[in-house]
């Protein structure tokens, strides 16, 4: 596994009170970073931050005003910002393919899984530019690369996140800001809900939060702008190889082509 030294650097992790977020906070602290733990669960954020020698910030990341306020507080209290892990996420909880759509739950899903990523990235970029660059890792999912018929709405949000990371990564590369998406398979966290029993019944292998923290370390060390990294149980984190798309006249555009506006 690649190593990365974060001594003297400051990191921010959303959804850091438990699961993947808490594991990543611990890993970043071990690598030398001072970490700001952001979560709606104030007590949980404080518990994780205290254990990692960081600071806790409570807030609803779906609120457009929260992430700018978080970044401002991080710079004020910790002096800078170098690494951002936009990790907060929720499950779909409904199919979203019939007339029985619970709009309130749908808005929450999009708010956490998509809006918070946009709010967080836009808030972080000026702070990273002040340091001459930095790293932004976005927790996506394999559902951002392949269809998950059991949860079409979750699939929608994670496809959006992967596309955003790919485009934003190219847009910000010249600023020295590396934006990448991390797309894990099923992880043993509370997000699985009742499906955990089904996975256990058939002895389906699951990733652990520590597996994802290790993958985040690998992405921070080796990730390139706009890449989407995958990780599955028993495997090593690696960059996903996208195919190109048809171009004008039947030619093939490479997967990393910069598309102009028409």
Q: Would you put residue 234 in left (φ > 0), alpha (ψ -120 to 50) or beta?
A: left
Candidates 31, 32, 28, 30; CA nearest to 14 is 28
For 12-26, what is the mean pLDDT? 96
Question: How many Å is the maximal CA-CA distance in the chain?
Answer: 59
Residue 188 pLDDT exceeds 80: no
Residue 194 pLDDT exceeds 70: no
pTM (2 d.p.): 0.92
Residue 157 pLDDT exceeds 80: yes
205 within 8 A of 233, measured Cβ to Cβ: yes
Mean pLDDT of all residues in the chain?
91
Provide the pLDDT for residue 66: 98
Give whole-number Cα distances, 122 to 105, 107, 125, 246, in Å. 25, 20, 6, 31
For 73-88, what is the mean pLDDT? 98
Of 50-54, 154-158, 160-164, 247-251, least confident by mean pLDDT is 247-251
Residue 1 pLDDT exceeds 80: no
For 21-27, what is the mean pLDDT? 97
Residue 78 tokens, joined: 């910790």
Provide the pLDDT for residue 218: 97
Going by pLDDT thresholds of 50, 70 and 90, the confidence category of residue 250 is low
Provide the pLDDT for residue 9: 98
154: annotated active-site residue: yes
Going by pLDDT thresholds of 50, 70 and 90, the confidence category of residue 257 is low
Give whole-number Cα distances, 74 to 14, 32, 69, in Å. 13, 16, 9
Going by pLDDT thresholds of 50, 70 and 90, the confidence category of residue 102 is very high
Provide the pLDDT for residue 199: 59
Pick the catalytic residue: 106, 154, 164, 240? Answer: 154
Going by pLDDT thresholds of 50, 70 and 90, the confidence category of residue 261 is very low
Return d(Cα 142, Cα 138) in angstroms, integer.
13
Return d(Cα 258, Cα 166) in angstroms, integer.
11
Q: Per residue in 174-186, is it b (16+ CB within 10 Å) or e — as a string?
A: eeebbbbbbbbbb
Candidates 43, 143, 39, 40; CA nearest to 91 is 143
Domains, the chain, ordered by start: 10-253 (3.40.50.720)
For 178-197, what is the mean pLDDT? 79
Residue 5 tokens, joined: 């030294």
pLDDT tens digits for range 219-239: 999 999 999 999 999 889 999
Of 23-37, 48-62, 118-132, 193-207, least confident by mean pLDDT is 193-207
For 136-153, what is the mean pLDDT? 93
For 4-29, what is the mean pLDDT? 96
Give whole-number Cα distances, 243 to 25, 26, 70, 118, 213, in Å. 33, 35, 37, 25, 27
């Amino acid at each position: 596994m690649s190593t990365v030294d974060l001594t003297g650097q400051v990191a921010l992790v959303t959804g850091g009170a438990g699961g993947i977020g808490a594991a990543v906070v611990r890993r970043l602290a071990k690598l030398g970073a001072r970490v700001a733990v952001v979560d709606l669960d104030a007590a949980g954020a404080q518990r994780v931050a205290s254990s990692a020698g960081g600071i806790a910030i409570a807030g609803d990341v779906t609120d457009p005003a929260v992430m700018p306020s978080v970044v401002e507080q991080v710079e004020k209290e910790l002096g800078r910002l170098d690494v951002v892990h936009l990790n907060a996420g929720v499950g779909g909880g409904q199919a979203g393919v019939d007339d029985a759509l619970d709009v309130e739950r749908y808005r929450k899903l999009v708010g956490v899984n998509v809006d918070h990523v946009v709010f967080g990235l836009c808030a972080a970029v000026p702070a990273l530019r002040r340091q001459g660059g930095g790293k932004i890792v976005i927790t996506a999912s394999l559902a951002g690369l392949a269809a998950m018929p059991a949860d079409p709405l979750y699939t929608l949000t994670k496809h959006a996140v992967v596309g955003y990371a790919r485009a934003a990564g190219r847009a910000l590369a010249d600023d020295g800001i590396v934006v990448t998406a991390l797309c894990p398979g099923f992880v043993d966290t509370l997000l699985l809900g009742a499906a955990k029993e089904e996975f256990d019944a058939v002895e389906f292998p699951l990733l652990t939060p520590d597996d994802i923290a290790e993958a985040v370390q690998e992405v921070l060390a080796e990730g390139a702008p706009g890449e989407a990294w995958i990780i599955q149980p028993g495997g090593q984190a690696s960059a996903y190889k996208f195919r190109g798309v048809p171009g004008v006249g039947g030619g093939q555009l490479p997967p990393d082509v910069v598309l102009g506006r028409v």
